Amino acid sequence: MNIDFNSEINSQLDIVRKLKTSTGVFTASAQTVSTGYDKAWLRDIFFIVLGFMEAGDMETVRTAGRALLDVFIKNKDKINWAIENKPSETWQFVHARFHPETFEEFWEEWGNKQHDAVGEILNLVTELELRAQTIIQNDDDKLMVQKIVDYLVAIEYWRDPDNGIWEESEEVHASSIGSVVAALKKAQQISWIKVPEGAIEKGEQALRALLPRESVTKFADLALLSLIYPFNVTTEEETISILRNVEYHLTKDKGVLRYKGDRYYNNNKDGFSEEAEWCFGLAWLSIIYALRGDRGRAEFYLERTRQSLTSEALLPELYYSHSDKPNENTPLGWAVSMYVCALVKVRDM
């Protein structure tokens, strides 16, 4: 490929750095947008820091990870209550959105029950621990991490319907289960964390029963790629099926549909047949094929991602169906980070 990988990686990381706040967390998009993406999301920050992690900027990763742990510490009373009293209302669960400066949860209804997001933060904290890049400062921090584990087990993550990665209808989502399974497997390797017996096995059994579907209503879904990268919880057969379904049913010119019938930013006033094309889906496929050693497919999807950059070299959240029109969330931190991950993976093949 005719590309200066290191230069492109650095320039794209600089774009993401502009989304960083004084607390060390990142807003989902520019802090000037009118879409609400000037807020912080647990999930977005997790995927944003993957780009810095893959590029070797561990200081940025650790700063963000420390701030995310502080978000949970700020909400420890809520977490303690949920561990003792299995929540029954959406507002009683840990919320995925929070104020990037005060760390206060946003309380308006937003599909706030998102188990994958909690699993992602446990993934990040434990990954840093396993890499000898700890953000743990004292016994209270250790207790908080243990409480995150206990919270996920108390809510019975393997069978509890949640709003999932797309923050929509409550169902049991494979991507949510997989996020937690991956996190608990890492936690199990750390001496001071106790993972209750059977907690991982129940998640794996639930995954096997659901896959290659995302949920009862979603057959092919972009969220399933997370189970391959970064969570690595699929069998080879499941991986092949997920890739086949996503590529055949969802991959378009400028991005990948989240799922068939997606009404979010749908170009059709009736909400059908003209689903938005999400740019990070192309980069995600490039990453996965690079990890599988398939240079041809990895370079193909990386080039497709590059073709989705705007004239200002920014990667949007999405393009409206069959158009060159991106939405206002440009750049989307998550999307830029996945592009960086793809650049690193293809460079290093």
Q: In the predicted model, is pLDDT for residue 78 greater than 90?
A: yes
Predicted confidence band at 269 (pLDDT cuts at 50, 70, 90)?
Answer: confident
Beta bridge partners of 53: none
Specify the pLDDT at position 292: 98
Task: Give which of 30, 13, 12 is closest to 21, Cα–Cα.
Answer: 30
Task: Give which of 172, 171, 189 is closest to 122, Cα–Cα.
Answer: 189
Q: How do residues 162-210 score in pLDDT, each as one tens digit?
A: 999 999 999 999 999 999 999 999 999 999 999 999 999 999 999 999 9
- Find out whether 167 and 110 touch, Cβ atoms under 8 Å: yes
Share of the chain above pLDDT 90, in %: 95
Q: How do residues 120-138 score in pLDDT, each as one tens digit?
A: 999 999 999 999 999 999 9
Residue with tokens 């690079």: 290
Share of the chain above pLDDT 70, in %: 100
> In whole numbers, what is the pLDDT of the chain averaged over residues?
97
Predicted confidence band at 245 (pLDDT cuts at 50, 70, 90)?
Answer: very high
Q: How do residues 143-173 score in pLDDT, each as one tens digit?
A: 999 999 999 999 999 999 999 999 999 999 9
- Find out whether 72 and 83 touch, Cβ atoms under 8 Å: no
Residues sharing a CB contact under 8 Å with residue 41, sequence separation 6 or more, in sequence order: 28, 96, 97, 98, 117
User: Phi and psi at residue 41, in whole multiples of 5°?
Assistant: -120, 135
Specify the pLDDT at position 108: 80
The single-letter DSSP state of residue 318 is E
User: H or E segment at 120?
Assistant: helix 115-130
